[in-house]
Structure 1
Amino acid sequence: MLEQVIFYTILMGFLITVLLSPIFIPFLRRLKFGQSIRDEGPESHQKKTGTPTMGGIVILVSVTAATLVMTFKFSEPSVSTYLLLFVTLGFGCLGFLDDFIKIGMKRNLGLTSRQKLFGQLVISVIFYLVYRQTDRFVQEISIPGTELSFHVGWSYVLVIIFWLVGFSNAVNLTDGLDGLVSGTSAIAFGAYAVLAWNQSQYDVAIFSVAVVGAVLGFLVFNAHPAKVFMGDTGSLALGGAIATIALLTKLELLLVIIGLVFVIETLSVILQVASFKTTGKRIFKMSPLHHHYELVGWSEWRVVVTFWSVGLLCAILGIYLEVWL
C-alpha cells in the first residue's frame, strides 16, 4: 500500500507539472514575464533573454496538490505535512514577490536583501515556534555515519534559521543553468525520501516524492535549451523545503553531504567576494562555480550533467552513511 502511494505521488506530481506547463508557459509569454539576463554574465546566456520565468508556480501547485491528495488518500495530513507546505509556499511567495517586482514591475533589483532576509526570518521563526510543540522536536544534532549526537539547547533555533535561510539562498544561487536545479533537487529530495521512509516518517516521504515528481516534470521544459525558468519562486521554495525535511528527519548535517552541490556553489560566491574585496583578485573566472566552468570552455550541458553526477554520488553517500553504515 505504502509503495503504491509513493509511486502514485511521484506520478501525480510529474503529470500535473507536465500538463500545466504547456498552458502556463504561453500565459507567461503573453504577460511578457521574460527572464532578464545580466550583462556581466556569460555572453552565451544573452540569447536566453525573454525566456519565460516564474515557472516555479507550476512546481508549487503540483507539489501542494500531489502532497495533499495522496496524504488524505493514505491517512490524514500531519503537523509535519503542514509545516513542509507552509515553509515551501512561504519561501515560494517570497520568491514570487522578488520575481514579480523584477519582471512585472520592471525593477531590476526586486526585493532588497534586507526585505528578503526579513521574510525568510519570519517564516523560519514561525516554523520553529510550531515545530517545538511537536513530539519530533529534539534539540540535538547527529553526526552523519556515527552514533554520536550533541545537545545544542536553545541555540537550536539558530540552527533552524541558518539552515532555512542558508539553503534557500544556496539553491537560489545554484539556479543559473538550464536544468541544473531541477536535476540536483530531484536527486536530493529523492535521497531524503529514502531516509524519511527508513525512519517511518511516511508523511515526509510523501512530500519528498511529490517534489521529485514535480521537478522531473518541470525538467521536461527546463532542460537545455530551456523553454521556461523556475525563477526565485521555485528555487527559494525548493531550498526551504529541503532544509525543512532535513530538520524534521533530524538529519541536518547530512544535508551538507546530500546537498553538497548547493554548498559548493554558495562557497564559491563567498570566496570570490572575499578574495576580491581583500586582495582585488578573483579565484574563479566567475561565480557561482557553474559559470566558471562555462568560461573555461565547458558546454552548458556538460556542466549540468557533471553537477548532476556529483549530486547523485553525494546522495548515495548520504544514504549509505545513514542507512547501511
Structure 2
Amino acid sequence: MHWTEMLLPLVSGFALTIMAMPIVIGYFRTKQLGQTTREEGPKWHEVKTGTPTMGGVVFLIAAVISSSWVGVWQGNLTIGLGLLLFITLVYGLLGFLDDFIKIFKKRNLGLTSKQKLLGQIIGGIVFFSGYLINNLSTDLAIPFLGTIHLGWFYGVFILFWLVGFSNAVNLTDGLDGLVAGTASIAYSAYAIIAWQQQQTDVLIFCLSIIGSLIGFFFFNKKPAKIFMGDVGSLALGGGLAAVSILLKQEWSLLLIGLIFVVETASVMIQVTSFKLTGKRVFKMSPIHHHFEMSGWSEWRVVLTFWFIGLVSAALCLMVVL
C-alpha cells in the first residue's frame, strides 16, 4: 500500500470529524444537555459539568464511513475489516445506550454493569464466530516461550481480551485529551505492524481511527468543548483488542496499551486494598486522578501519560519488527 493511498482513510476520517463535530456540539448546547461530574471526583472537575458528551458518535461514524469506502475503493473490504467494524460498532452501541440513558433519560447509572458485560460478551461471541468462519489461527504466540494452540479456548481468551481492554480504555477516559492521544498512539503502532505484515484491511481501519481521533482532539483538548463518552472509549478499547487479535500480536497490547493496563491495575489495587485493609493505596483511582490530587496539572498528567504510551509503543515495535 503506497503512502499516498494511506492518506485516504486518514484524511477522510479527519475531515468528516472536523465537519460534523461543531454541529453535534451546537445541538447539545442548544438543548442544554451535558455531562454530570461525579460527586466523588476531584472538586476542580465541577467546572466541566454541562460540557457536551457523546463525541465518540461522530468520530466512530467518521471512521466507519472512511474504512468502508476506502476498503471498497481499494478492494480491501474483507471479512477481517468487517470483524473490526462489527466489534467497534457493537461496543460503541453499548456505550451509546449507556450515555443516552445518563444524558437524555437523566439516570446517572446508565446501563448496569451486568447489562454492559452481557452485551460485550455477546459481541465477542459473534466476533469469534466470524473469526472461525474465516479460518483464522487459534494459536496464541507468547514472546520467548513459543506458540500455544488453544483451539476453542481461544474464544475464551478473545472474550477476556475484548471485554478487558474495552473497559480499560473506558477507565482511562477521565481527562481532556487523554484517551484521544493515548489511543492515537496505540492505533499508530498497530498501523505500522499492519503495514509491515501487509494486512491492508487492518491498516485502513487503524488509519481511519487515527484520522478521526486527530479531528476529535481539536475539540477535546483542554478545555474540552466535548467529551467522547462511553460510546467512544468502549469502542476504541474493543477495536484495539480486535486489531491485536487479527494481527496475531495479542501480547503486544500489554505494551502498546500500557497506560490502559496501568489505569485498570490501579483501580483493581485500590478496590482490593480498601476491601481487605480499609486503606487506599492511591489518593484516588484511576491513577490519573492520583496525580491530579498530588498537585499535577491536568496537562502535565496527560502529556506524561502520552509520553509513556509513546515510549512503550516504540519498545514494542522494536521487538515486533
TM-score (norm 2): 0.98
Deviation at 1:154, TM superposition (A): 2.0
The answer (yes or no) to whether the contact 2:76–2:200 under 8 Å persists in 1 is: no
The 8 Å contact of residues 91 and 235 in structure 2, kept in 1 or not, is answered as yes
Q: 1:201 aligns with which of 199, 202, 210?
A: 199
TM-superposition CA deviations, 1:268-322 (whole Å, max 9, x none): 0000000000000000000000000000000000000000000001111111110
How many angstroms apart in 1 are the aligned matches of 2:27 and 2:316? 40
**Corresponding residue of 2:5:** 5
Amino acid paired to 2:208: A
Which residue of structure 1 lines up, in the alignment, with residue 21 of structure 2?
21
CA offsets, 1:231-274, max 9 Å, x none?
Answer: 00100010110010011111111101100000000000000000
Name whichever of 64-73 and 109-118 sits farther off: 64-73
* Aligned pairs (5 A) from 1:29-108: 29-108=29-108
Query: How far did residue 19 of structure 1 move?
Result: 1.2
Partner of 1:249: 247
Q: Secondary structure at the match of 1:108?
A: coil
Q: Write the distance in 2 (CA, Å) between the matches of 1:47 and 1:250.
A: 43
Q: Which residue of 2 aligns with 1:232?
A: 230
Q: Which amino acid aligns with 1:310?
A: I
Give a deviation string over 1:151-190, Cα, whole Å, max 9, x none. Answer: 2222111110000000000000000000000000000000
Q: Provide the alpha-carbon RMSD of the alignment.
A: 1.0
- Distance in 1 (alpha carbons) for counterparts of 2:24 and 2:128: 34
Counterpart CA distance in 1 for 2:320 and 2:59 is 29
Q: Deviations 1:50-81 (Å, cap 9, x if unpaired)?
A: 00000001011110111011111111400011
1:206-285 alignment, distance < 5 Å: 206-285=204-283
By how many angstroms is 1:8 displaced?
2.0
2:127 partner letter: F
Pairs within 5 Å for 1:128-143:
128-135=128-135, 137-143=136-142
Q: Would you say 1:179 and 2:162 are equivalent positions?
A: no
> Quick one: which amino acid aligns to residue 143 of structure 1?
I
Residues 140 and 148, structure 2, Cα contact 8 Å, conserved in 1: yes
Distance 1:148 1:29 in 2: 54
Deviation at 1:28, TM superposition (A): 1.9
Structure 2 distance, partners of 1:258, 1:138, is 22
Q: Distance in 1 between matches of 2:109 and 2:71?
A: 39
**Matched-pair contact (CA < 8 Å) for 2:98–2:110:** yes
User: Any conservation in 2 of the 1:5–1:70 contact (CA below 8 Å)?
Assistant: no
The answer to whether the 8 A contact 1:254-1:318 is kept is: yes
Offset of 1:148 from its aligned partner? 2.0
SS in 2 for 1:218: helix
Q: How far, CA to CA, are the matches of 2:220 and 2:164 in structure 1?
A: 24
- Aligned pair 1:124/2:124, yes or no? yes
Partner-residue secondary structure (3-state), 1:150: strand
In 2, Cα distance between equivalents of 1:11 and 1:129: 33
CA shift for structure 1 position 200: 1.0
| Counterpart-to-counterpart distance in 1, 2:208 and 2:110 | 29
Write the letter of the residue equivalent to 2:156. Answer: L
Following superposition, the deviation at residue 2 of structure 1 comes to 2.9
Tell me if structure 1 keeps the 8 A contact 2:52–2:226.
yes
State the identity %: 52
Deviation at 1:147, TM superposition (A): 7.6
Q: Within 2, Cα distance between the matches of 1:48 and 1:116?
A: 26
Contact 2:102/2:108 (<8 A) preserved: yes
> What count of residue pairs does the alignment treat as equivalent?
321
Deviation at 1:149, TM superposition (A): 1.6
Structure 2, unpaired ranges of 5+ = none
Letter in 2 for 1:123: G
Q: Which residue does the alignment assign to 1:113?
A: 113
Amino acid across the alignment from 1:269: V
Measured at CA, do residues 279 and 67 of structure 1 come closer, stay the same or move farther in structure 2, by a change above 3 Å? Answer: same
Aligned AA (1:5): E
CA distance in 2, matches of 1:28, 1:82: 31
SS at match of 2:250: coil
